[in-house]
A and B are shown apart, each in its own frame.
Chain A
Amino acid sequence: MTILTDLQHDTLTEIINIGMGSAAAALSTMVKDEVSISVPDISFSSIDAIKDNLNELDTSNLASVRQGFDGELSGDAILLFSGDKSLEIVRMLLANTLGINDNDFSDFEQEALSEIGNIILNAGLSAIANTLRFDVNSSLPIYKQGDIDRLVTSDDKSQTVLILRVDLNLENKQIKGYVVYLMDILAIDQLIEHIDRYINSIPN
């Protein structure tokens, strides 16, 4: 099991905080609602453990946007919302800008949520990459709806992954979401290297 030193853990928490602050600001601009974020939860475990960490969502009905990233750091970033709240989020995004009426929202659900995921996940990734000074390439967002086993997957279920989880709350609509980053053991080493470099670059 990989263990971070206190300083590495603290640094990673702060960097994820910065990333999710950007993500929350982007989401807030899009849906015109206050978005609060939790302190990042960082754990190393098997991918199956994610289910236990999403206890405030109905894991049998989730809407997700997944975006792979590679380059100087590789892994997957996943945005998860309750499946039954996804249309509400789309309505919040589209109502003011496009004047589309309620009956039409379902036509745009997949595309609108893909774009919301694209913006949130990229905001988080970009902030992390900018802070640690490396480049990542992100793939195109993939939207899926279904249960947690279908949405949060890994090639090797027994493998240790780094799970970074942040709770997003849309305050006025009481909509909860999660951003989860998955990284395998090789990526964890890459990340620790970047964190150490960042720590060493801080003047004494």
Chain B
Amino acid sequence: MSTKSVLIVDDSRVSRMMVSAIINNMYTDWTITEAASGDEAITVLSELKPDIAIIDFNMPGIDGLQLAEKIKQQSPNTAITLLTANVQDSIQAKAATLGVSFAGKPITEEKIVSIIS
């Protein structure tokens, strides 16, 4: 698989570390950028158009779906997955409407493999 860039957006440092560690273990040459909020991610997007964005839903500031909309505007080719503990049907339905994939926490290697493949 060719080198890819991944943006991980989650206010939980532990979650970012877990996702990052799983990807790093599989693809040492991939570029991983982390952001702790939607606003921080938007700043990153001005310089980076990631191939993959893995974003939490409940975060300080804008939520993950609002961020997904902005990513779609600024970087339409980015494949976006909402990775969240909030597994309500309504959130999953909104993600589907936006064309955003959905994965429920807890984070497992299997889920991350599925997201990035």
Question: Which residues of chain A have a CB within 8 Å of any CB of chain B?
Answer: 22, 26, 29-30, 93-94, 97-99, 108, 111-112, 114-115, 118-119, 121-123, 125-126, 129-130, 135-136, 138-140
Task: Tell whether, in the assembled complex, residue A98 and residue B87 are in contact, meaning their CB atoms are under 8 Å apart.
Answer: no
A138 touching B14, Cβ below 8 Å = no
Contacting pair A115 B12 (CB below 8 A): yes
Mask: chain B, 8-20; 1 = CB below 8 Å from A; 0 = not: 0001111101100
Tell me whether A29 and B106 are in contact (CB under 8 A): yes
Inter-chain contact B18/A98, CB cutoff 8 Å: yes
Other than the known A123-B87, A135-B90, A140-B60, what 7 A-B pairs have Cβ atoms closer than 8 Å? A111-B14, A115-B14, A115-B15, A119-B106, A126-B88, A130-B88, A130-B89
> Smallest Cβ distance from B61 to chain A, in angstroms?
11
Question: What's the least CB distance linking A65 to chain B, in Å?
Answer: 11
Distance from B52 Cβ to chain A, minimum over Cβ atoms (Å): 19
Q: Is the CB of B85 within 8 A of A94?
A: no
- B residues bordering A, Cβ < 8 Å? 11-15, 17-18, 21-22, 58-60, 84-90, 105-108
Q: Which one, A108, A112, A130, A138, contacts B58 given CB within 8 A?
A: A138
Per DSSP, chain B at the interface is loop
- Residues B88 and A140 in contact, CB atoms below 8 Å apart: no
**With contact pairs A97-B22, A98-B17, A140-B58 given, residues A118 and B87 touching in the complex (Cβ less than 8 Å):** no
Residues of A near B12 (CB, < 8 A) are 111, 114-115, 118
Closest to B108 in A: A29
Roughly how many angstroms separate A67 CA and B85 CA in the complex, as a whole number? 12
Given contact pairs A26-B105, A26-B106, A97-B22, A136 touches B88 in the complex (Cβ within 8 A): yes
Central interface residue in B58, B84, B85, B86, by most chain A CB within 10 Å: B85
Which residues does chain A contribute within 8 Å of B106, judged by CB atoms?
A: 26, 29-30, 119
Smallest Cβ-Cβ distance to B89: which chain A residue: A130
- What would 24 A/B residue contacts be, using CB atoms closer than 8 Å? A26-B105, A26-B106, A93-B14, A94-B14, A97-B22, A98-B18, A98-B21, A112-B14, A118-B85, A118-B105, A119-B85, A121-B85, A122-B84, A122-B85, A122-B86, A125-B88, A126-B86, A129-B88, A130-B87, A130-B88, A130-B89, A136-B88, A138-B86, A139-B58
